Structure 1
Amino acid sequence: MPESRAHPTGRTLRLAVALVRSASFAPRPDPIVFLTGEPGADALGNIAELTAAGMNRDRDLVVLSQRGTFSSQRPLTCPEIDRFYADRVHLPYDAPATGDRYAQAAARCHERLTAQGVDPAAYDTSENAADVADLRKVLGIREWNVLSHSYGTQLALTYMRMFPEGVRSVTVDGVVPPSVATPGWTWSSMREAFDDIVGACAAQPSCRKRYPDIGATFLRMVRELEARPVTTHVTVPQAGRVKVVLDGGALLNWTVRASHAPADFPLAVDELAHGHPEHIAAQWASAWLPGSQGMFAHGLSLSVWCSEWVPFETPAEQLAKGQRAFPELPRSVLAQAPQLPFLRQACQAWGVPKAPDSVRAVTRSSIPTLAISGSFDAQTGAQWGRFVARTLSRSTVVTLAGVAHGTFDHPCGAKVITSFFDDPDSPDTRCVTSVKPVPFITAGEGAGAS
């Protein structure tokens, strides 16, 4: 691929592609192409999950390592930012000094990559979509189906708007609408998931009895920790004994980690309220230490966010979205968007130009589309599946109760998605009503701090 289609005679990139053969001896003629998320994750790392979920049951599966990601040429990996994230667990999450360190790490990565001749402005969703369109032609595929997750849904919605030819159907799993995605956009998903988790506890008699005010307790602890951060030490696999600082922003963002394993959410919050932060601290630290450091393309994340998200929202608009979502919380917490703290400062260091307004166009299409979400998704709330479906005339909307970010590896989610690809206008959704939140653990039932 050309690094920049605005300069077709310039540098080129080689993108890694895996073709996973169908498990069937007589596969269907229309394969599935998988587009992963973050942005910055390497889709080749999802192959085991995809095959375990049966996505190649009766179709070949095409997996593209997007431009800038680890397996493709010139990955925009940033060990400088990896080191910052490893250090951040020791620092107050919301502190301006922490934001300064993030911006400095981004600046060092940008300087190193540009010295190697990389053009960070060439790594965006429009170029990504053109890569996908070219890939179908290179492989000689007349028609295929798109399976997308998280940022991959932003890419898929852009792709089906720009290059609808040859697209038989599209699944968007954990939806990021290009027309509204900004840093402040993340607040509504955090609130939706929080309310659904608290509501699920209230719906279970044992949880309701043991933790009748768990939502209010959590919000109180966010306020208290923001005023007086707690420092503790925990043992994290492969990292050993580490220092962890919990302030209000760290606790709020811990909800993302907790949404994927929610059974001990009430217990962990109750322990924190009674002076025992170790449970949450261990989970918070394990989310960043040591992870797959060196493999994640932070540069692609910044190139997309800094050109397509940040310029389309003012700091005041971002703050207002936080205040609407969590009016109970202090301004210092609300000033940093969930999952994206101090992104504006990092973007100043990253220095890519604002994307054209066309990247925010609403996708209007008659291509059959499945918008599937989890009700506990604190990253891309279920409301956004319903949102994009409004302009997709042949859409099916599914929400799985108690499931977090990503449904394709959930048994019911996988069944709905594969049945959708078999029959895009009438997928089998019967299993959806049987999906319920897991039972919450109450004190004395043996939850571990891991």
Structure 2
Amino acid sequence: MIVLPASSGKAREPVFVLGGGPGQAATELASDYKEGEFADHDLVFMDVRGTGEGHALDCPGGSDETPEAYLEPFLAAGAGFAACRDELQRHADLTQYTTMAAMRDLDDLRRAMGFETINIDSGSYGTRAALIYIHMFGDHVRAAVLNSSVPVENRAPLYHAAAAQRAFDLLVEQCAADASCHAAYPYISADLWTVLNRLRAKPEHVTIAHPITHAPLQVILSASGFADALRVMLYSADAGRRVPRLLQDAKMGNLAPFAEAAMLSSRRLANSIRTGLLLSFTCSEDVRRIRPDEVARATKGSFIGDQRVRSQMAACAIWPRTHVPKDYYAPVKSNVPVLIISGEVDPVTPPAWGKMMLRSFPNGIQVILPAGHTPYNDCTVSLSTRLYAAGIAKGLDTSCVSALRYPPFILPG
């Protein structure tokens, strides 16, 4: 746990920060908060069970010793996670890792620290955790920020493919509406499918710089690895603005720029997630609700296809599951004031999920930013600060949102 004390000298209700994933350690987010932000509040970062140092439920995957694995599709090992399961079970009961259990831990911490009420700052999967905490202990929540919402209706990863395709299609539309971008990249979708079809026929060897040593490194790009890497790139609006250029280069036979960009974004994501915890949470809470006959329909026409869903389902087939009370899925109605932040081109939790989450909170509002996943900037900090100060979301001045703009597309030269 990390606590960043209020710097103003007039500390109010603390802000408890909930990480995403699932599987992200909250303490790793502490460095993202600039000095002076949320000056009237202590910031509390508690690593939920299974994420912190010494008790992390992690599984072997990409590493800086074997960085080529960063370019393999996430969870591609499927049933191969049995070896990790067996290793983790030597010191952990994998049935004891659920969102509800983690939120009981959080409330135990709140009481131990002597706080009657807290604020919550959450992102991505952390918004699901926040929803469950409010459902269980809502009387102790003053206000909450839900950035990139994951309501219980979102049975991850069933909708990942459609969300990523939507984000890509919006990117194509935005480029077409930009004269310079359209002139440079008139066939973005065709470029993507040309590369994917070529890689389906034969994966390609690519030489790039090692992410740490910068020595030459040979990697293999498959169609599924390429598609998953593209999805991860779209998490960031900045990285997304490079995609048309990268796809054009790839179509022309130069895959190295894409592979290098993919290595950076996929490495960052892989190193932030404890895969074993992700499986413990999602296998019991989400994947168990996915019917095999739904997969083809949910992923049809997407550049990712069904690979991610079927890989995660295969992993969950051998992973221990635990009973999840029906109360976990019960509709939540709470008067807690919430600010729901959504990125317009979010490739995993698009604004529609935020709109659905808003149904639980009659005293909440939603703002949609020109951004990707979990946008965090001066505007979101200002909105969150005012929410925590006033304890009211309705009527919050959101004018800073209208001043935000997408970064420019990266053009040739």
Q: TM-score, normalising length from structure 2?
A: 0.90
- Determine if contact 1:21/1:56 at 8 Å carries over to the other structure: no
- Determine if contact 2:71/2:225 at 8 Å carries over to the other structure: no
Q: Please list the CA deviations of residues 339-381 of structure 1 after superposition, one character each: whole Å capped at 9, or x if unmatched.
A: x661122222322235344322332222111110212221222
Residue in 2 that maps onto 1:215: 189
Counterpart CA distance in 2 for 1:178 and 1:383 is 13
Give, as a single letter, the amino acid of the residue that structure 1 aligns with 2:278.
S
Q: 1:85 to 1:160 in 2, by over 3 A?
A: farther
The DSSP-based 3-state class of the residue aligned with 2:33 is: helix
Name the Cα RMSD after superposition: 2.4
The DSSP-based 3-state class of the residue aligned with 1:276 is: coil
Residue in 2 that maps onto 1:308: 285
Q: Give the superposition deviation at 1:206.
A: 0.6
- Determine if contact 2:3/2:43 at 8 Å carries over to the other structure: yes
Residue in 1 that maps onto 2:119: 145
- Is 2:330 the counterpart of 1:361? yes
Residue in 2 that maps onto 1:393: 362
Counterpart CA distance in 2 for 1:163 and 1:115 is 33
Residue in 1 that maps onto 2:47: 65
Of 314, 335, 344, which residue of structure 2 is paired with 1:345? 314
Identity rate, percent: 27
- Is 2:4 the counterpart of 1:23? no
Q: 1:440 to 1:82 in 2, by over 3 A?
A: closer
The DSSP-based 3-state class of the residue aligned with 1:158 is: helix
Residue in 1 that maps onto 2:69: 88
- Determine if contact 1:182/1:312 at 8 Å carries over to the other structure: no
Q: Give the superposition deviation at 1:42.
A: 1.1
Q: 1:438 to 1:291 in 2, by over 3 A?
A: closer
The DSSP-based 3-state class of the residue aligned with 2:356 is: helix
Q: 1:361 to 1:58 in 2, by over 3 A?
A: same
Counterpart CA distance in 1 for 2:268 and 2:405 is 32
Greater than 6 Å deviation, 4+ residue runs: none
Q: Give the superposition deviation at 1:427.
A: 2.3
Counterpart CA distance in 1 for 2:360 and 2:269 is 38
Counterpart CA distance in 2 for 1:387 and 1:222 is 33
After TM superposition, the structure 1 stretch with the greater mean CA deviation from structure 2, 356-365 or 191-200, is 356-365
Counterpart CA distance in 1 for 2:265 and 2:121 is 26
Q: Please list the CA deviations of residues 7-32 of structure 1 after superposition, one character each: whole Å capped at 9, or x if unmatched.
A: xxxxxxxxxx22211121223x2111
Residue in 1 that maps onto 2:250: 272
Counterpart CA distance in 1 for 2:155 and 2:398 is 28
Counterpart CA distance in 1 for 2:70 and 2:273 is 18
Map 1:365-380 onto structure 2 (within 5 A).
Answer: 365-380=334-349
Q: 1:45 to 1:90 in 2, by over 3 A?
A: closer
Q: Give the superposition deviation at 1:250.
A: 2.2
Map 1:99-248 onto structure 2 (within 5 A).
Answer: 99=76, 101-104=77-80, 106-116=81-91, 118-238=92-212, 240-248=215-223
Q: Give the superposition deviation at 1:154.
A: 0.8
- Determine if contact 1:42/1:70 at 8 Å carries over to the other structure: yes
Q: Please list the CA deviations of residues 377-421 of structure 1 after superposition, one character each: whole Å capped at 9, or x if unmatched.
A: 2122222111211232111101111x221123x222222222222
Residue in 2 that maps onto 1:42: 25
Give, as a single letter, the amino acid of the residue that structure 2 aligns with 1:419.
R
After TM superposition, the structure 1 stretch with the greater mean CA deviation from structure 2, 30-39 or 173-182, is 173-182
Residue in 1 that maps onto 2:225: 250
Residue in 1 that maps onto 2:409: 440
- Determine if contact 1:257/1:283 at 8 Å carries over to the other structure: no
The DSSP-based 3-state class of the residue aligned with 1:242 is: strand
Number of corresponding residues: 406
The DSSP-based 3-state class of the residue aligned with 1:164 is: helix
Counterpart CA distance in 2 for 1:31 and 1:371 is 19
Q: Give the superposition deviation at 1:168.
A: 0.8
Q: Please list the CA deviations of residues 18-70 of structure 1 after superposition, one character each: whole Å capped at 9, or x if unmatched.
A: 2211121223x211110001111111111111235x54322111111111112
- Is 2:241 the counterpart of 1:263? yes
Residue in 2 that maps onto 1:383: 352
Give, as a single letter, the amino acid of the residue that structure 2 aligns with 1:417.
S
Residue in 2 that maps onto 1:404: 372
After TM superposition, the structure 1 stretch with the greater mean CA deviation from structure 2, 253-262 or 430-439, is 253-262
Q: 1:382 to 1:55 in 2, by over 3 A?
A: farther
Counterpart CA distance in 2 for 1:366 and 1:231 is 55
- Determine if contact 2:148/2:343 at 8 Å carries over to the other structure: yes
Counterpart CA distance in 2 for 1:438 and 1:87 is 30
Give, as a single letter, the amino acid of the residue that structure 1 aligns with 2:189.
G
- Determine if contact 1:121/1:352 at 8 Å carries over to the other structure: yes
After TM superposition, the structure 1 stretch with the greater mean CA deviation from structure 2, 203-212 or 417-426, is 417-426
Q: Give the superposition deviation at 1:230.
A: 2.3
Counterpart CA distance in 2 for 1:375 and 1:291 is 20
Q: 1:376 to 1:291 in 2, by over 3 A?
A: closer
Of 381, 397, 401, which residue of structure 2 is paired with 1:414? 381
Q: TM-score, normalising length from structure 1?
A: 0.83
- Is 2:15 the counterpart of 1:32? yes
- Determine if contact 1:107/1:350 at 8 Å carries over to the other structure: yes
Counterpart CA distance in 2 for 1:243 and 1:133 is 48
Q: 1:107 to 1:44 in 2, by over 3 A?
A: same
Give, as a single letter, the amino acid of the residue that structure 2 aligns with 1:350.
W
Give, as a single letter, the amino acid of the residue that structure 2 aligns with 1:336.
Q
Q: Please list the CA deviations of residues 172-215 of structure 1 after superposition, one character each: whole Å capped at 9, or x if unmatched.
A: 11111123323212223212321222222122221012112213
Q: Please list the CA deviations of residues 423-446 of structure 1 after superposition, one character each: whole Å capped at 9, or x if unmatched.
A: 3323221111111111101111xx
Counterpart CA distance in 1 for 2:43 and 2:166 is 33
